[in-house]
Amino acid sequence: MALGDYCFTDCKAYCCRKGYIDLTPKEYELIFKIDKKNKPKEKISAFLGDSCPALSTDFKCNIRNDPLHPKTCKEYPIFIRGKKVILSGNCLAVINNKFYPFISEWLSQDFEIIISNSREGNNLK
C-alpha cells in the first residue's frame, strides 16, 4: 500500500485482499504465523484468499513497521527497474490516475512508463 489515507478509506486495501504475493520463507512465516517446520524452503507465491492475515479490520497492515514487511508490499504498486517504471494496472490509484504528477516527472526524466496487468506489475504483490 502506497498512498496512505487513499488506500485505507477509498480503496480499502484491495491489493491486500486479492490475489497472490511473492514471499520469502521468513516473510511467509511472519504473515501466516506457521509452525517453523512448515516454513517453505524457497520464495513462494502465496494466495491471500479473502484477506492477507496481516491486514487489520480498518484496512491497515499490522506488520508495516516490521523489518520483514515484504519488499513487494513496500514497493507496490510502483516498481522501478532501471529506467522503467512499472505500475500495477490493478491498483485503484493507478486506474484513477492518482500518480499523474509522478508520471509527468518520470517522463521528464526519460523513464519508460509501463502499466502492467501481468505478474510483474500486479501480483508482484
For residue 124, state whether it binds ligand SF4 (rule: CB under 6 A).
no
Q: Give me the least distance between CB of 110 and ligand SF4, in Å please.
A: 25
CA-based torsion, 12, 15, 19, 25: positive or negative: negative
Q: For residues 100 and 108, which CB has a smaller minimum distance to ligand SF4 in the complex?
A: 100
Which residues neighbour 90 within 8 Å (Cβ) at sequence distance 6 or greater?
A: 14, 15, 18, 19, 77, 117, 122
Looking at 4-12, 32-40, 100-108, 109-117, which segment touches ligand SF4 (CB under 6 A)? 4-12
Cell numbers found for residue 87:
505500475
Binding ligand SF4 by CB under 6 A: which of 28, 76, 79, 99?
A: 76
Which residues neighbour 59 within 8 Å (Cβ) at sequence distance 6 or greater?
A: 7, 8, 9, 12, 13, 16
Looking at 15-23, 37-45, 99-107, 111-119, which segment touches ligand SF4 (CB under 6 A)? 15-23
Q: For residues 31 and 106, which CB has a smaller minimum distance to ligand SF4 in the complex?
A: 31
CA-based torsion, 35, 38, 44, 50: positive or negative: negative
Site residues for ligand SF4, 78-117, by CB under 6 A, read: 91-93
Size of site (CB under 6 A) for ligand SF4: 24
